[in-house]
Amino acid sequence: MAKLYFKYGSMGSSKTAQALITKFNYEERGMKVWLLKPAIDTRYGYNIIRSRIGIEARADIIEKEASILEAFVSERKDNCDVIIIDEAQFLSEKQVDELRDIVDEYDIPVLCFGLRTDFMTRLFPGSKRLMELAESITEIKTICECGVKATVNARIGPDGKVVTSGEQIMLGGNESYIAMCHKCWRERIKRERVGDINK
């Protein structure tokens, strides 16, 4: 019986690499993979998914208002054994509901990889809905520079300081985000604020 999976982790936890390795494993067994990513993620090209370690693959794009269920039924229903989605935090709640429908109605496993929370530790709408609906929820772990498990996607501004306000979505990689434990994140914010006051 198929399941909806949510595999989440902080920035730099190898989520994309694991998504692409999972794709390879299915295809190695002769199974057909429908690889998807939200259109908002244009960091490596419109239809490219790329890991920090350099592996990449072409993916179909999910537009912001698109129906994944309609695309599946009209284009992929008879040519798909599994759906794998990278950057799933950018999905809408409705799109996650449609993935749930695909699992239930067509017995197709759906594996979603993405962030759980933003730079201010708030759930993304897509991640929130996945936490509510997925049968299998797995954390892909990485560590803070102090050695403790990282849970915060700290956004770093052009001045090198931790950003504590702004839009929820800002695309970026290692130049814009650092995975940190909550304690180090809070302490760095405090240090940087004290530094501003003392100037």
* Domain chopping of the chain, boundaries: 4-141
Amino acid at 44: Y
- Angstrom distance (rounded) from CA 76 to CA 69: 10
Tens digit of pLDDT per residue, the chain (199 long)?
A: 899 999 999 988 889 999 999 999 999 999 999 999 999 876 767 788 888 888 999 999 999 889 999 999 998 888 899 999 999 999 999 999 999 999 999 999 999 999 999 988 999 999 999 999 999 999 999 999 999 999 998 988 888 888 887 777 666 555 688 899 999 999 999 988 876 544 4
Count of Cβ atoms closer than 10 Å to residue 65 Cβ: 8
Catalytic-residue membership of 135? no
Which residue out of 56, 87, 105, 187 is catalytically annotated?
Answer: 87
Q: What are the start-end ranges of the E strands in the chain?
A: 4-8, 33-38, 48-50, 56-58, 60-62, 82-85, 110-114, 136-139, 152-155, 177-180
Domain 4-141 has CATH 3.40.50.300: yes
DSSP state of 123: B
